[in-house]
Amino acid sequence: MAQRSIEMLIGRLITDERFRTDFLSAPEDTLNDLCALGFDLSRAEIAALLNTDPALWIRAASQIDPRLQKVNLSVNESR
């Protein structure tokens, strides 16, 4: 298992709003895209990430200082 990849992925889920939104809306696609880019994730790690309660990422992100967040600055398409 590539512990460093998991640590980076979890960190990104907690600190990168756009990535978290993408992951929450299409978790398998997001993980497959990362693997295609060379991210080292085993099948067991992917399964564990998919089985983790999605609300955890939202709760964790809301608990850290906003200065540590990468905010999604894209304009809302409905505007």
List the chain residues with pLDDT less than 50. Answer: 75-79
Q: Is residue 22 part of a domain?
A: yes
> 72 lies in a domain?
no
Positive or negative, the CA dihedral 17, 22, 25, 28 is negative
User: What integer pLDDT is reported at residue 41 of this predicted model?
Assistant: 92
Q: Is 10 exposed, middle or buried (0-12, 13-18, 19+ CB in 10 A)?
A: middle
Residue 78: inside a domain: no
Confidence at residue 17, expressed as pLDDT on a 0 to 100 scale: 93
Determine if residue 21 is left, alpha or beta; phi over 0 gives left, psi from -120 to 50 gives alpha, anything else beta. Answer: alpha
In a domain, 46, yes or no: yes
d(CA 43, CA 66) in angstroms, rounded, equals 32
Note the pLDDT of residue 73: 61
Q: How many domains does the chain have?
A: 1
State residue 75's pLDDT score. 47
Domain holding 36, by residue range, is 3-62
Tokens of 53: 């309660």
